[in-house]
Amino acid sequence: MNVKDFFAGIFFIALAGYFTYVLVDNMSLLFIDSTTAWQYFVAFFRVALIIFLFNLGLSLIKRFFKGNTAKNGDAR
């Protein structure tokens, strides 16, 4: 049980939460007539980044609680 895994997981979940707040705060700007395709691409990329960071944070917290992780020879 590595304490660094737990705090790294909390950090990545908090970072995903911040990015979610920023995305939702500017969501009304996506639905105006002058929105370009580039802005939609950036919004899609932000959602993908939020999902990745949240998943990474949960994986690190899970590794903290599980304790023993699979080494290179054991993952079959």
Q: Where are the domains of the chain?
A: 3-66
pLDDT at 13: 95
Q: Which residues contact 29 (CB under 8 A, 6 or more apart)?
A: 35, 39
Q: What is the pTM of this model?
A: 0.75
Looking at the chain, the whole-number percentage of residues with pLDDT higher than 70 is 86
What is the percentage of the chain residues whose pLDDT exceeds 90?
41
To the nearest whole number, what is the mean pLDDT of the chain? 84
Q: Taking residues 40-55, what's their average pLDDT?
A: 92
